[in-house]
């Protein structure tokens, strides 16, 4: 997408940033005691890795600057019973504000609901903002998938 | 009578708003109006019709642009007293309340072309996207033209729809297979794609990094070597029998068993397509997978496509990386 065309700011960092964050999170995971013990069930490990993937993705994508990543990190921190407080970003005052009241387009309403359930942090957003977040989320997700794929490929035995 | 046109004398991009004089002397007004030749681009007025129209019109002062309610001022380029009648009509038409107006960016003319006899139609033709809508009739109320509205809510609504459409376009480029013109199907595509990506992350974290140790311990296959190939085959057969047994009891547990091993069900046709497409040299294992598919194929049709990644775990040990789905 040419940046000239797209006035909406949805740039994601390059693959290496994602890879860096992911590997860091993985190595943190490895040093935990509960991880390397063999009596740990596979599903738990899987869940931990998945969580690590998402958290690292959120950090790589811009930390607390983006709405969805902020909500992701918040969820993750809550699960660990860590009380994290994020700085309230000064909200840009637009005259559209945060009206969820949809003036009657049922098609997009239903779809917007589903999107809100999928994209983290989509609970309180207007539809246009939601779609912006979705675009950024999709980009980051695909980047993360590429990184993980490369890792898997690199680590698989010949 | 001359049918003159109202055109902006300067090429300002913002549309000009009309000021509605309550009372004015025609000649005076027109002289004042025409005397200041270059049209100031930021000349605006607030919405309430000012009672003291003379003073406000004379030399029309510049107000700050309020992008929400304005009334355009329209320069008259022709010095024609006969126009006063039309102008008056036009002004009174615009006078009622606020005309919320959103400045369209590239409106090279907020041109109100007004001819003597074609006032209404020309006004219709020349309005920009913001939709100044008053039909210059004698009634003071602003009447919405068909397809446009002067209601601030509908303006906001239109704005909102535009924004959403814009974002939808940019999303369309991101999502593969985004050539659907229908908004509903496009949204469905987007949702499915997000789900697919999330599932991919889950499978990737499961297949290799999470379950590598367990998978390799249970299915003792290894790259190369005929010995290992046969042992791999028997291991696969054992898995297959196990799964068949489980499926008789409960489909869910069978799936869970498979998932624990990092495997999945897939229709045979799909498996053959993939195997021939990715790597032609994995024969012993492919046959095992195919056979595993035989009793299960009627049920296997329901597996989602992304589980191909999981199935490839069985075969990937034989060769190098599987190509990305």
The DSSP secondary structure of A24-65, one letter per residue, reads HHHHHHHHSHHHH-TTS-HHHHHHHHHHHHHHHHHHHTTTTS
pLDDT (0 to 100) of residue B59: 43
CB atoms B170 and A10 under 8 Å: yes
> Of B193, B201, B222, which is closest to A50 when you measure between CB atoms?
B201
Min Cα distance A88 → chain B (Å) is: 25
Q: Rounded distance, CA A130 to CA B160, Å?
A: 12
Q: How many residues does chain B have?
A: 325
B282 pLDDT higher than 50: no
CB B223 within 8 A of CB B319: yes
What residues 14-43 of chain A have any CB closer than 8 A to a CB of chain B?
26, 38, 42-43
Q: The tokens of A43 are what?
A: 């599903």
- Residue A54 pLDDT: 76
3-state secondary structure of B17: strand
Residues A48, B232: Cα–Cα separation, whole Å: 30
C-alpha–C-alpha distance, residues B270 and A8, integer Å: 40
Q: B266 pLDDT exceeds 50? A: yes
The tokens describing B223, both together, are 């790259």
* B158: closest chain A residue by CA: A103
- CB pairs below 8 Å between A and B: how many? 132
Residue by residue, pLDDT tens for chain A (158 residues) are 444 445 666 677 777 887 888 788 778 777 775 655 555 566 677 677 777 777 777 777 666 666 677 777 777 777 666 655 555 554 554 444 445 555 557 777 788 888 888 877 766 667 777 888 888 888 888 888 888 888 888 877 76
Which residues of chain B make contact with A39, given a CB cutoff of 8 A?
A: none
Kindly indicate the confidence band of residue B268, based on its pLDDT and cuts at 50, 70 and 90.
Answer: confident
Q: Which residues contact B60 (CB under 8 A, 6 or more apart)?
A: B19, B33, B36, B40, B43, B45, B73
Write the pLDDT tens digit of every residue in B167-216.
888 888 888 877 777 888 888 888 888 899 888 888 887 765 554 444 33
Residue B69 β-bridge partners: B100
Contacts of residue A148 in chain B, CB cutoff 8 Å? 201, 204-205, 209
CB atoms B211 and A46 under 8 Å: yes
- Pairwise CB contact (< 8 Å): A118 & B187: no
pTM across the whole model = 0.46
Residue B90, both tokens: 């036009």
Confidence of residue B78 (pLDDT cuts 50, 70, 90): very low
Highest mean pLDDT among B25-39, B43-57, B222-236: B25-39
Q: Give B72's strand partners.
A: B17
In three-state secondary structure terms, B100 is strand
Among B113-122, B195-204, B277-286, whose mean pLDDT is lowest? B113-122
**B65 inside 8 A of chain A by CB:** no
Which residue from A45, A96, A148 is facing B160, i.e. has the nearest CB? A96
N-terminal to C-terminal alpha carbon distance within chain B: 75
CA B211 to chain centre: 39
- Per-residue pLDDT at B224 exceeds 60: no
B205 or B157, higher pLDDT: B157
Q: What is the pLDDT of residue B44?
A: 43
The neighbour count for residue A61, using CB atoms within 10 Å, is 24
Assign B122 a pLDDT band (cuts: 50, 70, 90): very low
CA distances in angstroms from B78 to A116, B31, B34, listed in the order given: 57, 11, 8
Q: Is B317's pLDDT higher than 50?
A: no
| Residue B225 in tokens | 């070597």
């Amino acid at each position: 997408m040419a940046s000239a065309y797209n006035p909406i700011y949805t740039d994601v960092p390059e693959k290496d940033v994602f890879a860096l964050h992911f590997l860091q999170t993985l190595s943190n995971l490895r040093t935990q005691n509960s991880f390397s013990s063999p009596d740990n069930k596979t599903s738990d490990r899987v869940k931990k890795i998945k969580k690590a993937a998402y958290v690292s993705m959120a950090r790589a994508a811009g930390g607390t600057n983006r709405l969805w990543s902020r909500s992701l990190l918040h969820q993750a921190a809550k699960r660990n019973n860590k009380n994290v407080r994020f700085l309230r970003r000064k909200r840009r005052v637009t005259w559209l504000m945060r009206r969820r009241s949809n003036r009657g387009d049922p098609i997009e309403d239903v779809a917007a609901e589903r999107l809100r359930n999928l994209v983290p942090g989509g609970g309180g957003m207007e539809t246009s903002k939601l779609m912006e977040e979705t675009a950024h989320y999709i980009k980051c997700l695909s980047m993360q998938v590429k990184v993980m794929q490369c890792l898997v490929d690199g680590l698989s035995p010949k | 009578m001359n049918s003159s046109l109202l055109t902006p004398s300067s090429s300002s991009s913002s549309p000009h708003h009309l000021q509605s004089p309550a009372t004015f002397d025609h000649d005076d007004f027109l002289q004042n109006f025409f005397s200041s030749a270059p049209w100031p681009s930021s000349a605006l007025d607030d919405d309430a019709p000012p009672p003291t129209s003379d003073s406000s019109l004379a030399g029309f002062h510049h107000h700050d642009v309020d992008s929400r309610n304005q009334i355009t001022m329209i320069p008259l380029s022709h010095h024609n007293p006969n126009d006063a009648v039309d102008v008056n009509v036009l002004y009174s038409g615009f006078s009622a309340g606020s005309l919320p107006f959103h400045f369209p960016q590239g409106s090279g003319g907020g041109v109100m072309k007004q001819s003597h006899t074609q006032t209404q139609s020309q006004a219709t033709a020349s309005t920009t996207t913001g939709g100044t809508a008053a039909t210059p009739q004698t009634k003071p109320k602003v009447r919405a033209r068909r397809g446009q509205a002067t209601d601030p809510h509908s303006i906001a609504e239109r704005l909102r729809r535009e924004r959403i459409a814009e974002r939808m376009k940019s999303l369309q480029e991101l999502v593969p297979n985004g050539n659907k013109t229908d908004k509903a199907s496009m949204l469905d595509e987007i949702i499915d794609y997000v789900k697919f990506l999330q599932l991919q992350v889950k499978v990737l974290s499961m297949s290799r990094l999470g379950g590598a140790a367990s998978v390799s311990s249970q299915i003792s296959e290894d790259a190369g070597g005929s010995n290992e190939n046969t042992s791999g085959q028997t291991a696969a057969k054992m898995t297959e029998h196990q799964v068949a047994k489980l499926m008789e009891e409960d489909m869910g547990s069978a799936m869970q068993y498979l998932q624990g091993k990092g495997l999945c069900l897939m229709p045979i046709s799909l498996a053959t397509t993939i195997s021939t497409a990715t790597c032609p040299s994995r024969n012993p294992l492919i046959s095992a997978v195919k056979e595993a598919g035989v009793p299960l194929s009627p049920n296997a049709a329901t597996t989602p496509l992304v589980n191909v990644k999981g199935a490839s775990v069985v075969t990937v040990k034989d060769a190098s990386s599987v190509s990305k789905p």
